[in-house]
């Protein structure tokens, strides 16, 4: 069986609850810490499995189980791997009767997709809810150290995206 195509983690069906992830991120910020998007979006075992597969690829269920820092039942690891595969963060390929798993995304790519999924979920709001969101985002960016530079970078990204969209419309 060929390797299954990667799916986007931020699609509606496969993303974690947008507001749940956002709530955890914001609560961490309010508590004075900087929460990691992966820690917010995934459970402990999912994160542990991902760490194993970021360190080493093409592992069978039993290999992943053996590399975990704590004892976990084989069937629990198998179910976790299957769920991560269905979320699109793991690739798997069949060899004989076993599946071999590999990370489909780097840590940075996964963080970017989680952030994109959260933003997409928020921007899908109705009743004009996107204007206050964007306004607060710009305000938050400006309040950061180096905020003026970040706003220039944001403006450059918006200009690039507008050019790309115009170019795509001409095709």
The closest of 78, 85, 77 to 14, measured between CA atoms, is 85
Kindly report the number of other CB atoms within 10 A of residue 139's CB atom: 10
- Spatial separation of the C-alpha atoms in residues 68 and 58, rounded to whole Å: 15
Give the model confidence (pLDDT) of 27-71 as tens digits.
555 555 556 778 878 999 999 999 999 999 999 999 999 999 999
| Positive or negative torsion for Cα 51, 7, 29, 27 | negative
Q: Which of 63, 57, 69, 134 is nearest to 103 (CA)?
A: 57
pLDDT, tens digit (0-9, with 9 covering 90-100), for 138-151: 888 888 788 888 88
The rounded distance, in Å, linking the Cα atoms of 167 and 160 is 11
Q: What is this structure's pTM?
A: 0.66
């Amino acid at each position: 069986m060929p390797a299954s195509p990667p799916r986007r983690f931020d699609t509606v069906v496969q993303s974690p609850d947008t507001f749940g992830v956002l709530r955890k991120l914001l609560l961490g910020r309010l508590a004075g810490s900087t929460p990691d998007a992966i820690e917010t979006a995934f459970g402990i075992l999912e994160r542990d499995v991902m760490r194993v597969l970021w360190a080493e690829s093409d592992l069978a269920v039993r290999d992943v189980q053996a590399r975990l820092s704590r004892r976990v039942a084989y069937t629990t690891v198998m179910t976790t791997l299957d769920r991560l595969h269905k979320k699109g963060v793991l690739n798997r390929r069949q060899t004989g009767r076993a599946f071999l798993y590999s990370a489909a995304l780097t840590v940075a790519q996964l963080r970017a997709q989680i952030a994109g999924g959260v933003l997409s979920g928020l921007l899908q709001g109705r009743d004009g809810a996107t204007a206050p969101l964007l306004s607060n985002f710009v305000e938050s960016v400006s309040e950061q150290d180096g905020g003026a530079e970040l706003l220039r970078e944001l403006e450059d990204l918006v200009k690039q995206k507008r050019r790309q969209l115009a170019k795509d419309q001409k095709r």
